[in-house]
Chain A
Amino acid sequence: MRPSAARLLNILVPVKRAVDYAVKIRVNPQQTGIDTNVKHSMNPFDEIAVEEAVRLRERLKDQIKSIKAVTIGPPKSIDTLRTALAMGADSAIHVEMPESAPAPEPLAVAKALRAIIEKQEGGVDLVILGKQAIDDDLGLTGQMLAGLLNWPQATFASKVDIDVAKKEATVVREIDGGGEEIRCHLPLIITTDLRLNEPRYASLPNIMKAKKKPIEKLSASDLGVDLSPILETLKVSEPPKRVGGGKVESVDELIAKLKDAGITAV
């Protein structure tokens, strides 16, 4: 007789449609933000998150019950979900926002994710997010979500091991000066560091297969969350252009120039 299965894990992977890594970011003419009329793709750290979820399933096999991707954004964000599905997620949720709406802030995203998690039948055991988005570099959503749910968090993860039977995870975190190994109970929030893994390429056959996977559509009102910004951006400007350095002919000239700049001997 087969032993009764320990709790099977449900993994949620939030992903963001962010400005593509190869695009040179420019400030928009109104100086209120960046030019978003450029190529977008899945945030690279979120790709690493999806990859980690898929690898966990490859390691733990049947103990992973489901991998669900979720995104909050305009209609075009559905492409990001399709990429996640092509990489190996089972199903997806699209919290659709109108095209003209401003991008949601991390706190709003965290609140929406909390509402989604609370709606999930069977619960969520693991939420894997990218540590930050490459277009805003905020790095807040994972931590805020952990705070709202009162769950433990293992941020900047460079290695993840899960013990399903014990409902525990051992995570190595990238910190200044090296790695920190911690053990956490599930349910858990993990944010991914660059060093965690290298995401797979979504091949064309997988993309075709992903078209059949279900995508649930939700709106902010379905979740009872207000996604409008609470911060007002006053101005966005580029950093000052680097002024070129000058060459000196002799050590004496160097000392004279340093004195002129106000630097005196120690």
Chain B
Amino acid sequence: MASNSTRLRALALYKELHRLGREYPDPAYDFHGRIRRLYEKNKDLTDKDEIEKALKLGEYIKKETLALYSLRKYRHLKRMYPDSLTDPIP
């Protein structure tokens, strides 16, 4: 690993991703395993740009997972509690 600051960022991101993975809706999808393998694959990077790219990918995965969770929740709630526009009185 290049510098201490990127190491700290990588660790913080890992902890965040790990916590997110606990709520993954599909039990067959090994979220934790995948994150771990992705990190292990990149643990010996030394080039600053490559490290930056890897961190960006991690951030992207985090945002996509968050979007998945909130969309899933929103769709469920919208179906259970329809509003006057989607379920109009005839």
Interface residues of A (CB under 8 A from B): 21-22, 44, 134, 174-179, 193-195, 198, 201, 203-205
Residue of A193, A201, A205 contacting most chain B CB atoms (<10 Å): A201
Interface residues of B (CB under 8 A from A): 12, 15-16, 19, 25, 66, 69-70, 72-74, 76-78, 80-81, 83-85, 88-89
Q: Tell me how far the C-beta of A237 lies from the nearest C-beta in chain B, rounded to whole angstroms.
A: 20
Looking at the complex, which one of A177, A193, A195, A201 makes contact with B66 (CB distance below 8 Å)? A201
* Docked pose: A105 CA to B66 CA in angstroms: 34
Residues of chain B lying within 8 A (CB to CB) of residue A22 = 25, 72-73, 76
Residue pairs across A and B with CB atoms within 8 Å: the count is 39
* Docked pose: A198 CA to B78 CA in angstroms: 12
**A178 with B84: in contact, given A21-B73, A198-B74 (CB under 8 Å)?**
yes
**A194 with B81: in contact, given A176-B89, A201-B66 (CB under 8 Å)?**
yes
Secondary structure call for the A interface: loop
* Docked pose: A44 CA to B16 CA in angstroms: 22
Tell me if A204 and B83 are in contact (CB < 8 A).
Answer: no
* Docked pose: A134 CA to B80 CA in angstroms: 9
Tell me if A204 and B15 are in contact (CB < 8 A).
Answer: yes
Residues of chain B lying within 8 A (CB to CB) of residue A134 = 77, 80
Residue of B12, B78, B84 contacting most chain A CB atoms (<10 Å): B84
Residues of chain A lying within 8 A (CB to CB) of residue B25 = 22
Tell me if B84 and A203 are in contact (CB < 8 A).
Answer: no
